Structure 1
């Protein structure tokens, strides 16, 4: 009995090895779990559920097959695929969750989130995030022709990569106080997230009691999952 968590696969047609690794993970590991939680950035970019990219259909079909086999799959939006909507969710069988979700699992209360909201020292990113998460802005963007959206997304990714090269590494990691505030707000002693691409298991003091923050790795050269069971919480890297 175990539940699996993954994040930051950044699937795209240009990285077939990662896609193959994900398919292998679904067939080898996920199929035997109680549930699968994807904590954002499943895709490198998402410009709307109407994008006919074949990779999207391939991934939807693979996830749908798991659902039909009895494995529930849940999804929290990341900063790359926050526009993923109900149409793709239905096609893939995934259930969309709020950006901060508390899960009661094997006697633990665990806060799940993508992790970008914890990087509060990166004020430029947080300002950008507030803009693009505005429902009106999203509605206007999705009303544009797909070819325009694809061009805009390409330009935004290029600008983001250039900006990140100039930022100190420290401000792109989580803020410790933001972590504690989120855990206290939700009344939990466990947190699982991705986004930072810095896989680790952290212990912290929370009001004189021990708490834990577990960070998923990105799927660049190997896979990364967190396996939660009644006995343990494990951060597991694995080859594609």
Structure 2
């Protein structure tokens, strides 16, 4: 069994999400061959040198799962693209490039966070190119901590305001971008997060696009076995390690 998740947006102000994630690790991830985290794992990340006790606790939880045999892979999202080697070492996880080709259930599958597919959102794509520039990344990592905190807060607020003002089709993936990247990598299945619109989209030519859900109101994960790719939900626990598994509505 292989598990995939994305868009948990973990932070101290949402202990319900944290509790659900810890329950997920205990009940499912510890029994999995591999766990893939496809971006926006944290609500914000301003650098490995600024890790909080909360973020250290999440790294420790992942480390415990990894030491029991589960391989953990982490991909950057648009909120946590500054996660670096130190966190990965503490969490015992491997950083994945976006996009990445992996073998799931005997099939080559393309994994992405998904934000680079939102090509109709021109202002965001321009900002993404700037922020992911290696020189800009170097400068960001070496800014004073308070400056990074202020910049992160400003970017989060502007992102929320901008997203509310944009049409749904602008903030979703562009079908032509999806077709192009799947053709480029010669895959039948694309899995991504970012849009917070979980679904399995059946495309032409027997292709499919699986969108992982965000963890705002419930947990979402994709469970992959040799027989099936199943998108599942996980209710937020009333206590730290209690959860209810269910299939999403059709």
TM-score, reference length from structure 1: 0.97
Query: Which residue pairs with 2:82 in the alignment?
Result: 83
Alpha-carbon spacing, 1:152–1:196, altered in 2? closer, same or farther (3 Å) = same
Q: Deviations over 1:178-237 (max 9, x none)?
A: 1111111001000110000000000001xxx21011001000111000011110000001
Q: Which runs of 4+ in 1 moved over 4 A?
A: none
Query: Which residue pairs with 1:42 in the alignment?
Result: 41
CA distance in 2, matches of 1:25, 1:49: 25
Query: Which residue pairs with 2:57 in the alignment?
Result: 58
Query: Which residue pairs with 1:226 in the alignment?
Result: 222
CA distance in 1, matches of 2:96, 2:141: 21
CA distance in 1, matches of 2:203, 2:176: 11
Query: Which residue pairs with 1:181 in the alignment?
Result: 180
Partner secondary structure for residue 14 of structure 1:
coil
CA distance in 2, matches of 1:112, 1:175: 16
CA distance in 1, matches of 2:229, 2:64: 27
Structure 1: unaligned runs, 5 residues or longer: none
Q: CA deviation at 1:169?
A: 1.2
Partner secondary structure for residue 137 of structure 1:
helix
Query: Which residue pairs with 2:189 in the alignment?
Result: 190
CA root-mean-square deviation: 0.7
Q: CA deviation at 1:107?
A: 1.4
Partner secondary structure for residue 207 of structure 2:
strand
1:212 aligns with 2:212: no
Q: Deviations over 1:79-106 (max 9, x none)?
A: 0000100010001001001111011122
Query: Which residue pairs with 2:10 in the alignment?
Result: 11
| Pairs aligned (count) | 236
Q: CA deviation at 1:52?
A: 3.4
Structure 2: unaligned runs, 5 residues or longer: 237-250
CA distance in 2, matches of 1:194, 1:233: 15
Q: CA deviation at 1:72?
A: 0.6
Partner secondary structure for residue 217 of structure 1:
coil
Partner secondary structure for residue 50 of structure 1:
helix
TM-score, reference length from structure 2: 0.93
CA distance in 2, matches of 1:179, 1:81: 23
CA distance in 1, matches of 2:216, 2:105: 30
Q: CA deviation at 1:10?
A: 0.1
Partner secondary structure for residue 225 of structure 1:
strand
